[in-house]
Amino acid sequence: MVAFVFPGQGSQAVGMGQDLYAAFPAARAVFDAVDDALGQKLSALMFAGDIQELTRTQNVQPAIMAVGIAVVRALESETGKGIAELCHVAAGHSLGEYTALCAAGAMDVAAAARLLRARGLAMAQAAEQNPGGMAVVLGLSLDQAREAARAASAVGEICVVANDNAPGQVVLSGHPSAIARAAELCRSLGAKRALALNVSGAFHSELMQPAADAFCPALTQAKLHAPRVPVVSNVTAAEETDVGKIKGLLATQMTSPVRWTESVQFMMRRGVKKYVECGHGSVMKSMISRIDPSADIVCLSDAQSVAAYLAK
């Protein structure tokens, strides 16, 4: 079985998607549709813009989605096959779940772009309202990281596990002082590294509740359809196909941890042997290979890698 997987924030770079735009008309249509939906030449920012402007969460979220969908549309166009013929299940990390849903036909590109713009703006505003941070912890178990986060929390200050990315790779989120205490505790427990991340907020924690509240109206009004292939939810680490439940989980996702290790383990139990990472970079390959060392993982991030995959 084959899974299509899609990255989240952190995979961006200036120039991403540009050769896809040039090589595949179906990919070009994706970038044009995103530009039209947002009323902004986001593609110009992606291809030759300023990295700081691109990295602003309201820009980077639809941008990363656009590259992932451009890869999928190129595959569909060049093979003449639909998504259900190309893969059996889809999943994405944080915002990547929206890309997975779009790839699976649950929403069109314009709707995904508008939702991710609204999501990014809500997250940015929540980060200003509730300042926070995140830290990556390497070399500890999930239980050890959870215990450090719990011990570092105090009255009025929280620290929680935000991402369970892979065995030995956990991301914490919360108030900056609590994050600093947790990082120190993790180092005392034997963590190889416990480093603050250069992010603007405490994502996937309760500090994002204002973002979830602000984003819900856009999510409620969005037109979603049953996906053509099951999409694994970050919140449940299981495949979901009911539109109403998917909308509720997308709202919950903003304040809940990304259960990526469990998501990949779920796909393993479903019989997935091959993962196709659609989007810039190879972040997903790094995580999946630590969860399932036997997995066959292909990264499709540019025109050359897509052409090589099509030639097989």
Catalytic residue, candidates 93, 173, 175, 204: 204
**CATH match of 2-127+207-311 with 3.40.366.10:** yes
Q: Are 264 and 291 in contact (CB under 8 A)?
A: yes
Look up the pTM and report it: 0.95
> What integer pLDDT is reported at residue 198 of this predicted model?
78
> What integer pLDDT is reported at residue 66 of this predicted model?
98
Query: Hey, is 3 helix, strand or coil?
Result: strand
> What integer pLDDT is reported at residue 156 of this predicted model?
87
Give dist(CA 6, CA 98) in Å, integer.
9
Tokens 């919140």, residue?
235
Strand pairing class (2-6; 89-92): parallel
Task: Provide the CA 103 distance to its chain's centre, in angstroms.
Answer: 13
Q: Cα–Cα–Cα angle for 276, 278, 282, nearest 5°? A: 85
Tokens 């991340």, residue?
197
Show the beta-strand stretches assigned E in 139-238: 159-166, 169-174, 193-196, 231-232
> What integer pLDDT is reported at residue 100 of this predicted model?
98
Assigned token pair, 183: 């990082």
Give dist(CA 158, CA 171) in Å, integer.
14
> What integer pLDDT is reported at residue 294 of this predicted model?
96
Give dist(CA 84, CA 211) in Å, integer.
33
User: Active-site residue 204, yes or no?
Assistant: yes
Q: What is the pLDDT of residues 189-223, one digit of tens each?
A: 999 999 888 788 999 999 999 999 999 999 999 99
| Residue 18 CB contacts under 8 Å (≥ 6 apart), including other chains | 46, 47, 48
Query: What stretches of 80-161 show up as alpha helix (H) in DSSP?
Result: 83-86, 96-103, 109-129, 142-152
* Superfamily (CATH) of domain 132-200: Malonyl-CoA ACP transacylase, ACP-binding (3.30.70.250)
User: Active-site residue 177, yes or no?
Assistant: no
List phi, psi (to 5°) of 238.
-145, 160
> What integer pLDDT is reported at residue 1 of this predicted model?
96
> Which is nearest to 84 in space by CA: 191, 2, 176?
2
Q: Are 101 and 246 in contact (CB under 8 A)?
A: yes
Catalytic residue, candidates 11, 43, 93, 94: 94
Q: Are 4 and 278 in contact (CB under 8 A)?
A: yes
| Residue 152 DSSP label | H
> What integer pLDDT is reported at residue 231 of this predicted model?
97
Give dist(CA 120, CA 115) in Å, integer.
8
Strand partners, 92: 6
The low-confidence residues of the chain, meaning pLDDT below 70, are: none
Give dist(CA 16, CA 20) in Å, integer.
9
> What integer pLDDT is reported at residue 10 of this predicted model?
82
Which residue ranges make up each domain of the chain?
Answer: 2-127+207-311, 132-200
Query: Hey, is 295 helix, strand or coil?
Result: coil
Query: Hey, is 90 helix, strand or coil?
Result: strand
| Residue 165 DSSP label | E
